[in-house]
Amino acid sequence: MAPMLPSYASGTSSTPLLGDTISGRLRRTVEAWPDRDALVVRAQGYRATYAELWAQVEDAARAVLAAGVKKGDRVGVWSPNRFEWVLMQFATARVGAIQVNVNPAYRAQELKYALNHSGVRLLVMAKGFRETSYEEILGKVRGELPALERVVVIDDAWAEFIATGASVEVPELEAIEATLQFDEPINIQYTSGTTGSPKGATLSHHNILNNAYLVGATCHNSEQDRVCIPVPFYHCFGMVMGNLACVAFGAAMVIPGPAFDAGECLAAVEAEACTSLYGVPTMFIGMLAHEDLERRDLASLRTGIMAGSPCPVEVMKKVKSRMNMNEVTIAYGMTETSPVSTQTVIGDPIDKQVGTVGRVMPHTEIKIIDPATDRVVARGEKGELCTRGYCVMIGYWDNDDATRGAIDRAGWMHTGDLATMDDEGYVKIVGRIKDMIIRGGENVSPREIEEFLYTHPDIEDAQVIGVPSEKYGEEVMAWIKVRAGAAPTEGELVEFCRGHIATFKIPRYWKTVDAFPMTVTGKIQKFKMREISEQELGLA
């Protein structure tokens, strides 16, 4: 009998990695396509060509230097999606400052921790967003931020801030730019864990520029493309897979609004003739359910990326059939891997497009291991997915212990995600190690139950968790969002499951909701769902 193939794959490619800094790549793109649209922000009435974007980035970079920021200093950006965010992204890259992405959902203590931990000297922030006053939040902790020297509120002082850059000559900026190396850190992103303080994933030019380049190449990006980016900039999906992937190929960045709105997103695709659309599954679910879907002309769409969490099969099928995204790809990764490590490719068989997260990316290695022994499992067996290569972060900022806990001595980043790899190298994410439900000694994958529930005609979205049980250790619970006008009973839902999934997998508890607790990036916060459910069911 032939030995079983191990769950290991390495991404070969005839396309070399870019040995460049972010500003170097931007400069080349500007030289190649100066008059093409670079950035469109519909909510602000903003539009710039690549030549105009370069000039504005240069002004912002000079202003950053005028504020006393040196190469390696940290600059915080705290804002929803707007053009000033993009200018700061590339301005900090031109001067070698490390941009710290501040989560728009942060409150006072979270803000204090991130700014103090990273040592932010300059904070560029919005006045607020929706009902939240960022100024008020900052005011609560301003006296506890010893490293913070200057705050620029975009709404009130952006023009004044930019004007200060006149004191810095362009040759001074270019001299600093010439010293930059692609392996140097350029970005810190705080990961939102379920326990403990957030960790600052530290990423280099090389990490994120190459990841953006390879993700864009997989989508067949070119200067002809116009990418609709409704995902938040503060996260890798927006600033790397979105902004940087556009800049790497001369494509246009089209921003519908400061935060995701299904109607605004559909309108932007039509008005700007977008060829590509990004989103997490919950965003696509929202657009598919929106009343404007049928009346919007989406004929320009051809591709895009669905990522951030596992993509429901039924949702993916509808995105392809109803939104004209026949070349849509699924990407998988994490902030610590810049972020993408696997992606489907255009032309993949339909079952691979809707049922997996693709194969390993070029210049990257992946393996699936038994979490208990660290031994590589055979193809088809379940285990923890690990990633190695250029995309793995430098480490967690000022946290060597956490870095060692995530990246082993051989350089493998341990994702914490449970996955399988088939004989062709396609990977399927089947859950999180800590999300696995153990009911009466049986391992229950929440994802498996969720995929089944998506086939119910009245269920628009479903999330499955485990809750405490004296008898079984844990019981299965499903939170569901139903379609407008539908009201399936608990009995009807149980009957729908009976005979189709194992009895021990049928949810013991059901909860109908209008929305799920989630991060600003659209990732479901199952730990919050558990907390709420335990309280409501009296299981705490």
CA dihedral 101, 105, 108, 111 (to 10 degrees): -10
The arithmetic mean of pLDDT across residues 22-38, rounded, is 98
Question: Higher model confidence: residue 171 or residue 105?
Answer: 171
Query: What does each C-alpha distance from 96 to 9, 22, 125, 265 come to in angstroms?
Result: 34, 10, 20, 33
Q: How many CB atoms lie within 10 A of CB 153?
A: 18
**Is pLDDT at 194 greater than 60 in this prediction?**
no
- Tell me the pLDDT tens digit for each residue of 452-494: 899 999 999 999 999 998 888 889 999 999 999 999 999 999 9
For 334-469, strand residue ranges (E) read 340-343, 359-360, 364-369, 383-389, 395-396, 413-421, 427-432, 437-439, 442-444, 459-469
The pLDDT of residue 76 is: 98
Q: Which residues contact 45 (CB under 8 A, 6 or more apart)?
A: none
The pLDDT of residue 317 is: 84
Q: What strand order describes the sheet that includes 364-369?
A: 8-10, 364-369, 383-389, 413-421, 427-432
The pLDDT of residue 195 is: 41
Q: How many CB atoms lie within 10 A of CB 483?
A: 14
Question: Of 347, 362, 368, whose CA–CA distance to 422 is shortest?
Answer: 368
The pLDDT of residue 193 is: 47
Q: Are 35 and 21 in contact (CB under 8 A)?
A: no
CA-CA distance, 307 to 333, in Å (whole number)? 8
SS3 letters for 484-514? CCCCCCHHHHHHHHECCECHHHCCCEEEECC
Q: What percent of the chain has pLDDT over 70?
A: 98
CA-CA distance, 425 to 475, in Å (whole number)? 34
The arithmetic mean of pLDDT across residues 259-267, rounded, is 97
Q: What percent of the chain has pLDDT over 90?
A: 81
Instruction: Provide the pLDDT confidence category of residue 4 given band limits of 50, 70 and 90.
Output: confident
Please state which of the ranges 134-143, 175-184, 353-362, 436-445 shows the lowest mean pLDDT: 436-445
**Is pLDDT at 3 greater than 60 in this prediction?**
yes
**Is pLDDT at 196 greater than 70 in this prediction?**
no
Please state which of the ranges 59-63, 83-87, 173-177, 311-315 shows the lowest mean pLDDT: 311-315
Structure tokens at 158: 């952006």
Question: Of 474, 484, 31, 25, whose CA–CA distance to 240 is shortest?
Answer: 25
SS3 letters for 232-274? CCCCHHHHHHHHHHHHHHCCEEEECCCCCCHHHHHHHHHHCCC
The arithmetic mean of pLDDT across residues 521-531, rounded, is 84
Mean pLDDT over each residue of the chain, to the nearest integer: 93
**Is pLDDT at 426 greater than 70 in this prediction?**
yes
